[in-house]
Amino acid sequence: MERKEISKAVIGRLPRYYRYLGELIEEGVERISSNELSARMKVTASQIRQDLNNFGGFGQQGYGYNVKYLYSEISKILGIDQQHNVIIIGAGNLGQAIANYTNFERRGFVIKGMFDINPKLIGLVIRGIEIRSVDDLETFIKDNEIQIAALTIPKTKAPEIADRLVNAGIKAIWNFAHTDLVVPDDVVVENVHLSESLMRLSYRVCSMQDQGDGKGEKSSK
Amino acid sequence: MERKEISKAVIGRLPRYYRYLGELIEEGVERISSNELSARMKVTASQIRQDLNNFGGFGQQGYGYNVKYLYSEISKILGIDQQHNVIIIGAGNLGQAIANYTNFERRGFVIKGMFDINPKLIGLVIRGIEIRSVDDLETFIKDNEIQIAALTIPKTKAPEIADRLVNAGIKAIWNFAHTDLVVPDDVVVENVHLSESLMRLSYRVCSMQDQGDGKGEKSSK
DNA sequence: TAGATTGTTAATCGATTAACAATC
DNA sequence: TAGATTGTTAATCGATTAACAATC
């Protein structure tokens, strides 16, 4: 079974397809053509068909796609039909925000524990999840078959913790620290660099102003 | 002023260049060649030169790039040399996490206010920022020249609030709600869809398992 | 069957990498 | 100057869009 390597661009779009299909299910829509979906999502129908056909034929000529079936197939592709055990390292606001977001559990991401170095936080329980000392990290990962660690700690601490996670056998790091982690090839790192996102927004705001919309504004260049 | 349209891919990389240049400054490095930088960042030197030359020649043949100068030029390109007034709508954990992240202020993003509908939160003060009722939204935006709104509220409330923000003259929405906002062309929306990020991570974990522990080619970019 | 719409191949477009002349 | 390294053009690679035959 030689699986053709799927491009990052395609993977990047799958969750969005999944979200729209979920909404269609809620609306009671049973089937949809690539054309109708393209109109909703503001992408080309060609791209939708091309993307989906990376994984096999989910549609039917003359009919379109069965919404529930496609939804379920995409969930399998993304692996969110399975349970993933997650820990959160860093129990500050961001870590707590993630812990409190119940939708993750609906997608199979079960938060098994939280960790911090702050003694004031250790022992607290957030939505049934206990905050532990990072000293217990390795033991906990092994005892609870943790696959994914969300890293919501300052960037100065991140590399050291990442090393410990890797050595403890973690499979993936969801990295919110503002630094690029160095890990072996078989460990997945998915970055969420909020400050970079905000800078991109800033660029777009400024370039919007530059090209103006007819209104007079001080042109700084 | 016909500025050549810069591709999204290029803009996406600028904040990362900026981060690495900041680290170089901290290390006391004065100049760097595209080759040295490429080795650090794990991108090609060609790409670095090509990217930077979208905005003009910042380097010097035979010398390389002056780190401080390039850092400052990129900050101008990104518009983070200017002050941006920001509000946060939704004062839950995520909103508070953003409010507490002081590094944003260092980049010129000044958080002027927070808003919520929960009466228990209204009146609280986070790091000097008062939580107000969303009833005061429009007035506050106008009185304080707010350009950017971070939207950290549930997706059900997001479209209505987005409309109000647009009507109040906001320039950009930093959208954490799990939905695609519909806004006029001159309003910027930058999405941070955490659940989609987590699904991409899930895919990569699963595909890693599928192909066994063979040779990967990805790294933690 | 006839109409609709997919799956898939071919054409186009854009982004990345390579190469090298310009020049500090 | 000679060596180094950029700025920039050309070549390659990959991703998106268009087209249409297959087929439900």
CB B177 within 8 A of CB B153: yes
**Separation CA B59–CA B32 (nearest Å):** 9
Average pLDDT, chain B: 93
Q: What per-residue confidence (pLDDT) applies to B217?
A: 37
Q: Is the dihedral of CA A116, A122, A124, A128 positive or negative?
A: positive
Q: What per-residue confidence (pLDDT) applies to A3?
A: 52
3-class state of residue A134 by DSSP? helix
Q: What per-residue confidence (pLDDT) applies to B5?
A: 86
Kindly report the CA angle at A195 between B39 and A17, in degrees rounded to 5?
95
Residue the block writes with tokens 């409309």 = B163
Tens-place pLDDT, residues A142-174: 999 999 999 999 999 999 999 999 999 999 999
Closest partner residue to B93 among A93, A175, A181, by Cβ?
Answer: A93
CB B99 within 8 A of CB B150: no
Q: What per-residue confidence (pLDDT) applies to A1?
A: 37
> How far is the CA of B73 from the CAs of B26, B32, B87, in angstroms?
17, 15, 27
**Separation CA A128–CA A214 (nearest Å):** 55
Tens-place pLDDT, residues A22-31: 999 999 999 9
Q: What per-residue confidence (pLDDT) applies to A158?
A: 98
Neighbouring-strand partners of residue A110? A85
Query: Parallel, antiparallel, or unpaired: how do β-strands A64-66 and A59-60 relate?
Result: antiparallel
**Separation CA B91–CA B115 (nearest Å):** 6
Q: What per-residue confidence (pLDDT) applies to B59?
A: 96
- Chain A window 119-178: which residues touch B at a Cβ cutoff of 8 Å? 147-148, 171-172, 174-175, 178
* CA-wise closest residue to B197 among B183, B176, B167: B176
Tens-place pLDDT, residues B184-199: 999 999 999 999 999 9
Tens-place pLDDT, residues A52-78: 999 999 999 999 999 999 999 999 999
* CB burial string A7-38: b at 16+ within 10 A, e below: eeeebebbbbbbbbbeebeeeeeebbbbeebb
> How far is the CA of B28 from the CAs of A159, A208, B63, in angstroms?
21, 35, 17
Q: What per-residue confidence (pLDDT) applies to B4?
A: 67
Residue A5's pLDDT band (boundaries 50, 70, 90)? confident
Residue A102's pLDDT band (boundaries 50, 70, 90)? confident
* Interval A42-48 mean pLDDT: 98
C-beta within 7 A of nucleic chain D, residues 56-115 of B: 57-65
Q: What per-residue confidence (pLDDT) applies to B221?
A: 32
Kindly report the CA angle at B63 between B57 and B69, in degrees rounded to 5?
55
Contact B194 A147 (CB under 8 A): no
Residue nearest to nucleotide C4 (CA to C1'): A62
Would you give the distance in Å from CA A88 to the centre of its chain?
Answer: 14
Q: What per-residue confidence (pLDDT) applies to B212?
A: 59
Residues with Cβ < 8 Å from A140, sequence gap 6 or more?
A87, A112, A113, A115, A132, A146
* Interval A173-179 mean pLDDT: 98
Asked if the C-beta of A34 comes within 8 angstroms of chain B's C-beta atoms, the answer is: no
> Does an H or E element contain A188, and which?
strand A188-191
Q: What per-residue confidence (pLDDT) applies to A179?
A: 98
Question: Is the CB atom of residue A54 positioned under 7 angstroms from any atom of strand D?
Answer: no
Q: What per-residue confidence (pLDDT) applies to B209?
A: 82
User: A2 pLDDT exceeds 80?
Assistant: no
Q: What per-residue confidence (pLDDT) applies to B112?
A: 97
Q: What per-residue confidence (pLDDT) applies to B210?
A: 76
Identify the residue with better confidence: A135 or B219: A135
**Separation CA B35–CA B46 (nearest Å):** 9
> What residues in chain B have per-residue pLDDT under 70?
1-4, 212-221
Identify the residue with better confidence: A2 or A209: A209
**Separation CA B172–CA B150 (nearest Å):** 9
Residue A212's pLDDT band (boundaries 50, 70, 90)? low
Residue A209's pLDDT band (boundaries 50, 70, 90)? confident
Contact A93 B103 (CB under 8 A): no
How many C-beta atoms lie closer than 10 Å to residue B34's C-beta? 20
Instruction: List domains and CATH numbers for chain A.
Output: 8-78 (1.10.10.10), 84-196 (3.40.50.720)
Is A94 known as a binding-site position?
A: yes
Sheet arrangement for strand A148-151: A125-126, A129-133, A109-116, A84-89, A148-151, A172-175, A188-191
* CB burial string B41-72: b at 16+ within 10 A, e below: bebeeeebbebbeebeebbeeeebbbbeebbe
HSE-up of residue A118 (Cα within 13 Å, Cβ side): 10
- Reading the block at residue B75, the tokens are 């900050």
